Structure 1
Amino acid sequence: MRKIIKRLGIVILSFTAVLTIGYLTPRKWGNYSQADCTISLYISNEGIHTEIIVPVKNQYFDWNQFLPLTEIGRDATSDYKYLSFGWGDRAFMLENPSSGSINLVTGLKALIFPTPSTVQVQGYRVLPKNIETKCVSISGSNYLRMVDYLKNTFQLEAKGNKIKIGYGYGNNGIFYEARDSYSILRTCNDWTAEGLQKAEVNTPLWSTLSSSIMFHLNSGCECIVSSQ
């Protein structure tokens, strides 16, 4: 019995060490920079879940052409300045409006079994102030790569239309069916990290935890923080 306990302890310590190394190790080392630093975007951290916040319109892309702003949320408004994109387990995101109301059964099921996913889109007139956000600037070409990544997250029906699931938690959000399955091997924060990698933004080797993404967030550019 003692040998079994000892071996189990070694396995747990080894696993913890590997995860810690992955948490602290960046994918990019040394000095690096973008070709230009023209676009500022934001990453939000809601405690266990990160999202990507982009400007509705700039010289490179107009999101209103892909997602009509008036269908985002119950407000039916077109004056959003920013859109926030978040991906995750469908049941978990639809049933848990905040980290303080997590359904443990749904959460465990999402981690253990591959499950259907959803993408949540929220519109903001100004940047959210009640959650942690960090700014990162990237080049125009890298921004377009991120745009393509976000667009390809949506599951489309046969006619090419996006599939609405329902409104979000507040008056400014909506859920759509998303591509790919959620699992412990690809979580909501791994999805965020993949998008950042498309834009050549630094991410950790192990990106499952939201705090690790925020810790390593760096594009090599000085971010121009919006006054809005």
Structure 2
Amino acid sequence: MAAQAHAALKRAAPIAGKALAWLALIVGLFMAFAWIGSSIPRNSEWEEPERGVPIMVETNGVHTAIVMPLVDPVKDWRVDFPASDLPATAASRPYTHISVSWGEHEVFLNTPTWADLSLPTAVNAATGGDGLLHIAHYVRPAPSDSARVLRLRPAEYARLVRRIEAQVRPPARRTVHAGYADWDVFYEAPGTYHIGNTCNQWTSDTLAAAGVRTGWWTPFAGGVMKWVPR
């Protein structure tokens, strides 16, 4: 029996080695295409104005989001994302900004930390999962390397707003999910998440719709942030 098991292991070793080699090649090609795709600009002639509507593009290193004034002449986000959807203990804070991002339903709801991400959830997200909006309410967020200010012309900001509004379902047709803290919340949203249409692609597509210079294909946070000056 021992000899047979040893022989089986010897036969399996080359197969496992080839499988790992193919996996490494696929991962390497994906990373290379992601770098190339994120380096090809959309709206290449765009330049940031000296004055305009200040937004932020923020990241935690994996995920990106767009931070906007809660209320300004172009948009009052309190209509779409009321603080009353937050827990009662947080609803009355003097919020000044909201952070908006899009992602995969199960990943958002079931992975408060990356340590909670399971293989089935990751595979489901990569192959096609439902969309979900994540809205965080902020009080005077401070600029930093992970929250970079970007100024838009009023017309550009209006296009950004319209793009995000298209993702917002009417209150009667959406489900509200509790967030990770008392100042954030999730909403059902249209769209299908997959490996070619990630949360970071949503960020760059939204910025591109406003006319901002950004990369063509940005599956990773770095591909978005490299277009936003520090």
Q: What is the one-letter code of the residue matched to 1:93?
A: F
Count of residues in Structure 1 that have an aligned counterpart in Structure 2: 210
Q: Pick from 138, 155, 166: which aligns with 2:177?
A: 166
Which segments of 5 or more consecutive residues in structure 2 lack a partner in the other structure?
A: 1-13
| Partner residue in 2 for 1:194 | 205
**AA at the equivalent of 1:99:** W
Mapped pair 1:44 → 2:58: yes
Cross-structure match for 2:46: 32
User: Could you list the runs of 5+ residues in structure 1 that have no partner in the other structure?
Assistant: 224-228
Q: Give the whole-Å Cα distance in 2 for the aligned partners of 1:98 and 1:128.
A: 23
State yes or no: 1:95 paired with 2:107: no
- In structure 2, what is the Cα distance between the partners aligned to 1:118 and 1:17? 28
CA distance in 1, matches of 2:227, 2:145: 18
Task: Return the TM-score normalized by structure 2.
Answer: 0.79
Provide the residue aligned with 2:133 in structure 1: 119
Mapping 1:1-228, distance limit 5 Å: 12=26, 17-29=32-44, 32-33=46-47, 37-74=51-88, 75-77=90-92, 79-112=94-127, 114-127=128-141, 132-156=146-170, 161=172, 163-217=174-228
Greater Cα offset, 165-174 or 93-102: 93-102
Letter in 1 for 2:95: Y
Q: Quick check: 2:42–2:208 contact (8 Å CA) kept in 1?
A: no
Amino acid across the alignment from 1:18 = F
Distance in 2 (CA, whole Å) between partners of 1:198 and 1:163 is 24
Bigger Rg, which one: 2
Distance 2:207 2:195 in 1: 19
TM norm structure 1: 0.80
Deviation at 1:201, TM superposition (A): 1.5
CA shift digits 1:78-121 (9 cap, x unpaired): 52101011111101100111334323321121002x21111111
CA distance in 2 between counterparts of 1:205 and 1:182 reads 17
Change in Cα spacing, 1:194 to 1:170, as seen in structure 2 (3 Å) is: same
In 1, the alpha carbon distance for the partners of 2:143 and 2:160 equals 24
Native 8 Å contact 1:36 1:140 kept in 2: no
Please state how far the C-alpha of 1:162 moved relative to its aligned partner: 5.0
Note the C-alpha offset of 1:19.
3.2
Aligned 8 A contact 1:73 1:168 in 2 = no
Indicate if the aligned counterparts of 1:201 and 1:217 stay in contact, CA closer than 8 A.
Answer: no
- Partner SS, residue 106 of structure 1: helix
Aligned Cα root-mean-square deviation (Å): 2.9
Per-residue Cα deviation, 1:13-38 (whole angstroms, up to 9, x for no partner): 66654333223332244x53367731
SS of 2:191's partner is: coil
Change in CA separation of 1:76 and 1:32 when aligned onto 2, cut-off 3 Å: closer
Judged with a 3 Å threshold, the aligned counterparts in structure 2 of structure 1 residues 14 and 181 are, in CA distance, closer, same or farther, namely: closer
Deviation at 1:154, TM superposition (A): 2.0
Q: Quick one: which amino acid aligns to residue 190 of structure 1?
A: Q
CA distance in 2 between counterparts of 1:125 and 1:14 reads 42
Give the 3-state SS of the residue equivalent to 2:121 in structure 1: helix
Relative distance call for 1:135 and 1:212 in structure 2 (3 A) is same
CA deviations on 1:146-166 (whole Å, 9 max, x unpaired) are 11111111234xxx6351331
